[in-house]
Amino acid sequence: MTTVDRSRLPDVGSDPAFAFPQMRRHRLSAGLDLRTIEHRSLPVLALALQVADGSGSDPAGREGLAALTADMLDEGVGDLSALDVAEALERIGAEYHVDVDADATTIAMVTLTRHASRGAELLAGSVLRPSLREEDFSRVRQLRLDRLRQVRDQPAAMAERGLLHLLYGTHPYGHLPIGATGSLRALTSADVAAFHAAAYRPDRATLVMVGDLEHDAMRDIAEAAFGGWTPGRGREAARSPVETVTAAPGPSLAIVPREGAAQSFLRIGQLGPPRRTPDYEALLMMNAVLGGQFVSRMNLKLREEKGYTYGARTGFDWHRQASTFSVETHVDTAATVDAVLDALAELTDIRGARPVTEDELAVAKASLTRGLPRSFETAPQVARIASHLVLYDLPDTHFEDLSARVRGMRAEEVSQVAAAHLHPDRFSTLIVGDPAVGARLAQTLGLGEPVVLSPEV
């Protein structure tokens, strides 16, 4: 046995070779765009059908429509009832999951390869031929109204709702996908049918298949399942939001009252550039340094140095149009004011007073490049990533490009995008917490009376 040299850490060797999965594009007879990726580790197939409309396509006064429509897809298909559909999925061991965000709706399925045809058929059934029956509609809408009521229990959900409102105002990005009580009550099954016809069309959708099959086999399965898809009678394609986002005025302070809360849930946010900004890679680096991982300024300060919180993070919520950038953390009620000051200092200092160091640069580069291969381990992971490329119309060489760009990045570039994109004079600070804390915070920040956001949803 050789004794380990504990006087120094082992060096990290050169990065192992890793080839990002190759995606093949197909056009099905219905006009549907299909992307296939062979993933040979296990007999698993992941499918993701994405349509280019999400909650940002909700008409004014009909907030919640995209999410309710997505929820209705498996609540009856053709002659099958909702329970029949659930049983059919169980018989092939399938997992079925719907995700609605501001820009898109994604219906994802995972099944065993030997059930590939049946899985594709069930997915196609939900997307092409949902029953959208009145009785199912009223049951599902009521469930969503009840869930909306439960949003009031959850500090993080209340904060998300408040921050979207503060940052986007009346822009279509300014609401939670679930909508609001008034808008959900106003929805009808006719609204759902119209939205389905307008948004769920082969010319506005992309199917991604990743699994233990050859490209052409996946194409044949998709063709058999989706070949009969014709655009519905939607008068026109659903409208992706086109209104320009106007920067929120700021700085501002808002509170959602939660009397006697043991912690304050804190968000500090601002609008950021769209996903396709040329500064994307530099902004990812900035976020990694600032609060995107455990070893980041925000977490080390608020958790490891001060013990104010279990964890603090920053992140972008990327969109086709203006994204958001924000801090989020649950902090001890007694430490709230100090935590806000520390967080604001970190957001401000990276712009110049304390520029990014070489050490920080190295850690951020490592997490964005060396850490990348583990994101391609499973078929569902790869399908999610491929859908992301589709959503933002990114090139197939995206990850090669990103890695090269990050590897060559200099610390000054990161500090420069921080200075250009972070706007301390426009931060919206929001807490869900005890009103007395809000008053103290207002006094300290000199922002006048905080805006009180009603917990009514």
Partner 1 sequence: MSSASSPSPVPLDLPFVRHTLANGLDVIVHEDRHVPIVAVNVWYHVGSKDERPGRTGFAHLFEHLMFEGSAHYDRGYFPPLQQAGALVNGSTNTDRTNYWEVVPTSALDRALWMESDRMGYLLPALTRARFQTQQAVVLNERRQNYENRPYGLVTMALAEALFPPGHPYSWTTIGSADDIRAMQLDEVQEFFRTYYHPANASLVLAGDIGAAEGIALAERYFGDLPPGPVPQPVTADASFQDERRLYLEDRVELPRIYMAWHTPAIYTGGDAEADVLAGLLAGSKASRLYRALVYEQRVALDVSAFQNSRELGSFFLLAATAAPGRLLADLAAAVDLEVARLAAEGPSPGELARVTAQVEAQFVYRLQTNGGFGGKADQLNAYNVFTGDPAFFAADFARFQAVTASSIRMAASTCLAPDARMLLSVVPRDRAALALDGSERVTPS
- The token duo for 109 is 């399925």
Stretch that binds partner 1, among 48-56, 108-116, 167-175, 402-410 (CB under 8 A): 108-116
| Shortest distance (Å) from residue 403 CB to partner 1 | 11
Please name the residues in contact with 426: beta carbons below 8 A apart, sequence gap of 6 or more: 247, 248, 249, 250, 251, 270, 271
Q: Is 188 in the site for partner 1 (CB under 8 A)?
A: no
Please name the residues in contact with 162: beta carbons below 8 A apart, sequence gap of 6 or more: 254, 256, 267, 430, 432, 453
Of residues 92 and 344, the one with the C-beta less far from partner 1: 92
Q: Using CB atoms within 10 A of its CB, is residue 13 exposed (0-12), middle (13-18) or buried (19+)?
A: exposed
Give CA–CA dist 294/359, Å, rounded.
Answer: 15
Pick the binder of partner 1 from 371, 420, 443, 448 (CB under 8 A): 371
Q: Is 293 in the site for partner 1 (CB under 8 A)?
A: yes
Rule CB under 8 A: which of 249-288 touch partner 1? 258, 261-263, 265
Stretch that binds partner 1, among 28-36, 48-56, 362-370, 440-448 (CB under 8 A): 362-370
Pick the binder of partner 1 from 22, 29, 41, 357 (CB under 8 A): 41
Of residues 332 and 396, the one with the C-beta less far from partner 1: 332
Whether residue 177 has a cis bond before it, omega within 30° of 0: no
Of 202, 284, 240, nearest in space to 26 by CA: 202
Rule CB under 8 A: which of 340-359 touch partner 1? none
Q: Is 165 in the site for partner 1 (CB under 8 A)?
A: no
- Helix, strand, coil shares of the chain as percentages rounded to 5? 45, 20, 35
Pick the binder of partner 1 from 35, 62, 118, 320 (CB under 8 A): 118
Q: Is 9 in the site for partner 1 (CB under 8 A)?
A: yes
Rule CB under 8 A: which of 307-326 touch partner 1? 307-310
Q: Is 362 in the site for partner 1 (CB under 8 A)?
A: yes
Of residues 355 and 455, the one with the C-beta less far from partner 1: 455
Strands of the sheet with 44-51, listed across from one edge:
24-27, 33-38, 205-211, 44-51, 105-112, 95-100
- The token duo for 332 is 């001890």
Rule CB under 8 A: which of 13-32 touch partner 1? 13-18
Q: Is 307 left (phi over 0), alpha (psi -120 to 50) or beta?
A: left
Q: Is 190 in the site for partner 1 (CB under 8 A)?
A: no
Of residues 327 and 391, the one with the C-beta less far from partner 1: 327
Pick the binder of partner 1 from 344, 366, 394, 419 (CB under 8 A): 366
Q: Is 398 in the site for partner 1 (CB under 8 A)?
A: no
- The token duo for 391 is 């959503």
